[in-house]
């Protein structure tokens, strides 16, 4: 029994989207301007569209290292977040957000916004 490659690709895409929630919440467009204004201490703009993913609590934590204060799981791998890429602003969305990029073919973090503290 063989599966159509188009169907397999569609199913894989649905599964991947179920695990990733993008930063621009269509149910809460009032936050769009806030997302677009987020910047890291290194001066880089974090948002250039709906390219941020929500990160659940088990997939990010603190490290105790001032140079790399957080780490986040991207593509199943723990990535250290440099201080210059941490957004130091209150999180209006609640859940942690990461703006991933690729550096030398490996996942990295363009910006990271920690989740709200309870």
Q: 46-84: per-residue pLDDT in tens? A: 765 457 888 999 999 999 999 999 999 999 999 999 999
CA 13 to chain centre: 18
Retrieve residue 62's tokens: 């603190």
Q: Give me the number of domains the chain comprises.
A: 1
Q: Mind listing the pLDDT tens digit for each residue in 15-48?
A: 333 334 444 556 567 887 877 888 877 777 776 5
In this structure, is residue 9 part of a structural domain?
no
**pLDDT category of residue 118 using cuts at 50, 70 and 90:** very low
The domain containing residue 58 runs over which residues?
Answer: 22-113
89-97 mean pLDDT:
88
Q: What is the distance between the alpha carbons of residues 43 and 58, in angstroms, rounded to a whole number?
A: 28
Lateral strand order in the sheet of 96-103 = 53-55, 96-103, 106-113
In this structure, is residue 34 part of a structural domain?
yes
Retrieve residue 116's tokens: 């709200």
In this structure, is residue 16 part of a structural domain?
no
How much is the pLDDT for 4?
Answer: 56
101-115 mean pLDDT:
91
Could you tell me the CATH number of the domain that includes residue 48? 2.40.50
In this structure, is residue 15 part of a structural domain?
no
What is residue 87's DSSP assignment? -
In this structure, is residue 4 part of a structural domain?
no
Retrieve residue 86's tokens: 């941490």
**pLDDT category of residue 104 using cuts at 50, 70 and 90:** very high
């Amino acid at each position: 029994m063989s599966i159509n490659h188009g169907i397999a690709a569609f199913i894989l895409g649905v599964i991947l989207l179920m695990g990733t929630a993008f930063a621009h919440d269509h149910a809460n467009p009032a936050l769009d301007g806030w997302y677009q204004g987020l910047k890291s201490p290194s001066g880089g703009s974090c948002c250039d569209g709906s390219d941020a993913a929500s990160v659940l609590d088990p997939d990010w934590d603190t490290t105790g290292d001032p140079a790399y204060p957080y780490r986040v799981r991207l593509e199943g791998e723990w990535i250290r977040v440099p201080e210059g890429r941490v957004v130091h602003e209150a999180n209006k969305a609640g859940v942690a957000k990461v703006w991933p990029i690729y550096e030398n073919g490996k996942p990295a973090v363009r910006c990271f916004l920690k989740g709200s503290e309870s």
